[in-house]
Amino acid sequence: MSPEILTVLMFATLVAAIAMGYPLAVTLAAVAALFGLIDYGFNYHIVFNLFANNVWGIFLNYTLVAVPLFIFMAQVLDRSKVSEGLFDALYIVMGGLRGGLGMAVIVVSTVFAATTGIIGASVVAMGLMAGPALLRRGYEKGMAAGIICSSGTLGILIPPSIMLVVYGGLTGMRETSVGNLFAAAILPGLLLSGLYLVYVAVRCGVNPKLGPPIPMADRTYSTGQKVLMTLKSFVPPFALILIVMGTIMGGVATPTEAAALGCIGALILALFNRKLNLEVITQASLSTARTTAMILALFVGGKVFSVVFLGFGGGDVVADLLLGMDVDRFVVLAIMMAVVFFLGMFIDWAAILLVVVPIFTPIAMGLDFDPLWFAMLICINLQTSFLTPPFGYALFYFKGVAPPEYTMGDIYRGILPFVAIQIFGLMLMILFPDIITWLPSVFFG
């Protein structure tokens, strides 16, 4: 059977199995096993050895040790209520502005993203804290839902991000090492956060009914009290960010070592907040084990899928199709970004990474694109996948903890402007690559 026919059949089988609701990790591995057997003439010894060698290579990857460490750090921070104090302070400091409370949510989510790296933790935490508060202060439900869901997804992009750790471990390239990816993601993450702030400020400034300021009765604090409250709530998480990111950027520690330092810092913050107890550690450990198992299961399934796909020449089929098009290389880039965006509407980010990165990275390098710049475009695009209907995970995370007044219609309607903002931000980074590449060049040459 020709590589072209196998390519079409393999992807069609994968899509059909996903549509039928089978677990993604099992689906990837099962489809890989089926087409591996077809390609090797049903010689299961060869297929088994192929899978065993590649799966063993995953568990020898030292970089992936950072995954459970960063997850544990996020779980401890989530349970120690670090973000609540910052939200309370910014509620008072920024609440007097039109849209100020919404902007406070974005700022808190940005800081929280830089300490957790897990979407579920960020969206759920902000949904519980800010969802009812925004409604009580008269915010339009779509605007409130859009603010919480979009800013909560920054955790998958702003370091320390689990997605960036997985990407770095997947490629094994020096240009896309975890340290380079962390440095490259800082400015894009801050840019998207800034675009959210500008949008909320402008929309609420033009139409105060979307996000009215808090009443005068809640603005009784002096300037000194506001500064003290902000510093008291901001310094601890910022110190943790410096510990994790500073040691990586300064070349003092590897991402895995920095993740271990982050775990210690998270435990210290929990101790200061009087939240460090056996229950917190037990629940954080159990959640870490479940999440890590899920990610590694996807990693294994995606790895064997890509091995079989590339083994029978599927990667060459896709590469020849895209590279053989008589169009500008940026048109090919747009096609790849559109594929990732479309897949993100239906499939988990980890599976998308594991399937498209081995296929698209050689194509991008064949088109003479910077591999770090291209990697970051993929990751920024995948952040959007958490917001795009019908299966945007952030939307369902928020719906699960939001007050009943928020309907899925409100959430879908409110998120669309923020999806447009993310696409606009992606276009800016395509037009101005230095947004991505400048910081890595400063820290790592």
Write down how long the chain is.
Answer: 445
Placement of tokens 């520690």 in the chain: 253
pLDDT higher than threshold 80 for residue 145: yes
Would you place residue 377 in the very low, low, confident or very high pLDDT band (cuts 50, 70, 90)?
very high
Whole-angstrom distance, CA of residue 36 vs CA of residue 397: 36
Closest CA to 173 of 365, 435, 426: 365
Contact 301, 28 (CB under 8 A): yes
For the residues 350-354, what does the mean pLDDT come to? 78
Q: Which residue has the higher pLDDT, 147 or 59?
A: 147
pLDDT higher than threshold 70 for residue 187: yes
pLDDT value at position 27?
84
pLDDT value at position 423?
93
Q: Which of 136-140, 260-264, 420-424 has the highest mean pLDDT?
A: 420-424
Would you place residue 99 in the very low, low, confident or very high pLDDT band (cuts 50, 70, 90)?
confident
pLDDT higher than threshold 80 for residue 54: no
pLDDT higher than threshold 80 for residue 35: yes
Token pair in block for residue 365: 């390098």
For the residues 311-335, what does the mean pLDDT come to? 81
For the residues 370-388, what does the mean pLDDT come to? 89
Would you place residue 121 in the very low, low, confident or very high pLDDT band (cuts 50, 70, 90)?
low
pLDDT higher than threshold 90 for residue 420: yes
Token pair in block for residue 162: 């689990």
Would you place residue 275 in the very low, low, confident or very high pLDDT band (cuts 50, 70, 90)?
confident
Q: Go through 144-179 and write b for each residue having 16 or more CB atoms within 10 A of its CB, e for each that does not.
A: bbbbbbbbbbbbbbbbbbbbbbbbbbbbeeebbbbb
Whole-angstrom distance, CA of residue 83 vs CA of residue 258: 21
pLDDT value at position 299?
78
pLDDT value at position 120?
65
Whole-angstrom distance, CA of residue 336 vs CA of residue 319: 11
pLDDT higher than threshold 90 for residue 353: no
pLDDT-wise least confident of 61-75, 155-169, 182-196, 215-229? 215-229
Closest CA to 351 of 173, 177, 163: 163
Would you place residue 438 in the very low, low, confident or very high pLDDT band (cuts 50, 70, 90)?
very high
Contact 371, 364 (CB under 8 A): yes
∠ CA 396-17-387, rounded to 5°: 25
What angle do helix axes 162-171 and 349-366 make, rounded to 10 degrees? 50
pLDDT value at position 47?
82
pLDDT-wise least confident of 32-41, 135-144, 221-230? 221-230
Q: Which helix (H) or strand (E) holds 377?
A: helix 371-385
Average pLDDT, the chain: 83
Token pair in block for residue 234: 């901001």
Measure the N-to-C terminal CA separation of the chain; round to a whole number of Å. 47
In the chain, what percentage of residues exceed pLDDT 90? Answer: 14
Q: Where are the alpha helices (DSSP H) in 221-348?
A: 223-241, 247-249, 255-272, 278-311, 314-323, 329-344
Give residues with Cβ within 8 angstroms of 285, minimum separation 6.
Answer: 72, 75
Closest CA to 263 of 21, 4, 6, 65: 65
Contact 318, 359 (CB under 8 A): yes
pLDDT value at position 196?
95
Closest CA to 258 of 61, 64, 66, 63: 66
Q: Which residue has the higher pLDDT, 421 or 1?
A: 421
pLDDT value at position 243?
82
Whole-angstrom distance, CA of residue 89 vs CA of residue 110: 15
Q: Which residue has the higher pLDDT, 254 or 414?
A: 414
Closest CA to 113 of 198, 197, 186: 186
Q: Which residue has the higher pLDDT, 439 or 51?
A: 439
